[in-house]
Amino acid sequence: MNESTKKKFIIISMIVLIIIILCIVSILILKKSKTENSYGKTEGEEGYITDADKGNVQYQVENVKDLTDFYSVEDVLKEYKDQSFEAEDMRFLQGDRIMTYIVLGNNNICYIVRVDVYNLAYEIKEIKESDIDKISIKEDETEILNNGNNNFKYKQISIEETVKMYYEEINRLELEETEKMYNKLNEQYKKIRFPTYNDYKVYVEEMKEVIQNSVISKYSVEEKDGYREYTLVDNFNNTYIVRAKGVKNYSVLLDNYTIKVDNYSENYSKLSNEEKVRSNLYIFIQMINTKDYTNAYNLLADSFKNNYFKDQKSFEEYMKNNWFSYNLQTNIDIKSEGINYICNVTLRDGAGSASNETNKTIIMQLKDNTDFIMSFTV
């Protein structure tokens, strides 16, 4: 075999090998397409839906929790009505091609907005009804043609923008529409923390400066059963918990200690005693920072209250005069003496170099479960 023949043989062999590889890849792709449908389920897996079954899939009307969907639909209604239009509530029915939205506007009128996700086109129907719960819709996969005047544009809103919008709305409502914000508080939380609207008004007035000067510093988002939970922490280390069933259908908790999270007791039980003391100190300081003198007073040992603070009013007056309005814990030294834990705590009234500093000694006893009692030097 001469040199030229060898080269031809090698080239032909490589071409054949490439063809074989392409055939194998094609077979694998075809096999995958047959066993995995558009719902991300594989044949034999629970929830797998065949092409023949797709027409029988039953979707349910749900609250819109995604801000991109919510404000994208709101924008087309602003064009349809006017720029002052705001969506107060929004539900949706998912389809394969058509997304159907029911929208309650700030004009007390409901609208049905159908969006063709393939053609990026929409159509609007006005409903003379102010109760969104009375409106029922059925899946309608009829194509919507894009005529140039009904182009649907998605208004992308990131998670960072989402939490910022919630945080700013909560602060605005607290300062400008206090009663509306009070009605947005989680019902269980409200009964414990602010039994009356006047209690909440006093809180807002005392926290006014903090609210005006706060910014969000960190956040987390978690999907719960039936709602999305946003945990927001500001630069004063105050925690806001937003439980959103829908974008505008949400409730708020203004701290993370009044109602403990589901796994708090389990996580607390795994801590060392020193870690439990640190955790409890954080809770007490947060109570003082958020002017929650009722719950803070209830943590004091009875003998300590009898000697120094016969009632909550005297305790509240003392704390306002002898602790900072905002207390930032910068250092803590804990020593165990019998059943007591002696905590030397350094507090500052801010994070800046010019902030004032003070030292406090706090004595704590750990009780059953997550309970504890405490006192401090007066």
State the Cα–Cα distance between residues 245 and 249, nearest whole angstrom. 6
**Coil, strand, or helix at residue 240?**
strand
pLDDT average, residue stretch 207-226: 95
Query: In this predicted structure, what is the pLDDT of residue 260?
Result: 86
Q: Scan for tokens 């902030």, then name that residue.
A: 355
β pairing state of 98-105 and 110-116? antiparallel
The 8-class DSSP code of residue 196 comes to: S
Express as a percent the part of the chain with pLDDT over 70.
Answer: 87
Q: Scan for tokens 């020593």, then name that residue.
A: 335
Sign of CA dihedral 197, 201, 207, 212: positive
**76, 101, 104, 111 from 126: Cα distances, Å:** 13, 12, 10, 5
Among 28-42, 122-136, 362-376, the least confident range: 28-42
Q: Scan for tokens 């954080």, then name that residue.
A: 282
Query: In this predicted structure, what is the pLDDT of residue 25?
Result: 58
pTM, two decimal places:
0.78
Query: In this predicted structure, what is the pLDDT of residue 35?
Result: 40
Sign of CA dihedral 366, 370, 373, 378: positive
- pLDDT surpassing 80 at residue 299: yes
- pLDDT surpassing 60 at residue 150: yes
State the Cα–Cα distance between residues 111 and 330, nearest whole angstrom. 54
More confident residue, 9 or 340: 340
pLDDT average, residue stretch 205-210: 95
Summary mean pLDDT of the chain: 89
pLDDT average, residue stretch 178-194: 97
Query: Which residue pairs from 30-35 have beta carbons closer than 8 angstroms and sit at least 24 positions apart in sequence?
Result: none
CA 119 to chain centre: 32
Express as a percent the part of the chain with pLDDT over 90.
Answer: 80
Exposure b/e, 153-176, CB count within 10 A at least 16 = b: eeeebeeeebbbebbebbbebbee
pLDDT average, residue stretch 210-229: 95
Tens digits of per-residue pLDDT, 326-335? Answer: 999 999 999 9
Measured in residues, the chain has a length of: 378
Query: In this predicted structure, what is the pLDDT of residue 353?
Result: 78
Tens digits of per-residue pLDDT, 64-109? Answer: 999 999 999 999 999 999 999 999 999 999 999 999 999 999 999 9
Query: In this predicted structure, what is the pLDDT of residue 350?
Result: 84
β pairing state of 98-105 and 87-93? antiparallel
Residue 326: closest CA among 295, 299, 362, 352: 352
Tens digits of per-residue pLDDT, 20-75? Answer: 776 665 555 554 444 444 334 444 444 434 444 444 556 789 999 999 999 999 99
Cβ atoms within 10 Å of 239's Cβ, excluding its own:
16
Show the tokens assigned to 206.
Answer: 């005392």
Tens digits of per-residue pLDDT, 241-298? Answer: 999 999 999 999 999 999 987 788 999 999 999 999 999 999 999 999 999 999 999 9
Query: In this predicted structure, what is the pLDDT of residue 3?
Result: 63
CATH classification number, 264-376, choose in 3.20.20.70, 2.40.10.10, 3.10.450.50, 1.10.10.10: 3.10.450.50
> Residue 343: beta bridge partners?
334, 362
State the Cα–Cα distance between residues 351 and 229, nearest whole angstrom. 29
Write down the domain spans for the chain: 57-134, 159-253, 264-376
**41, 97, 98, 287 from 94: Cα distances, Å:** 18, 8, 7, 44
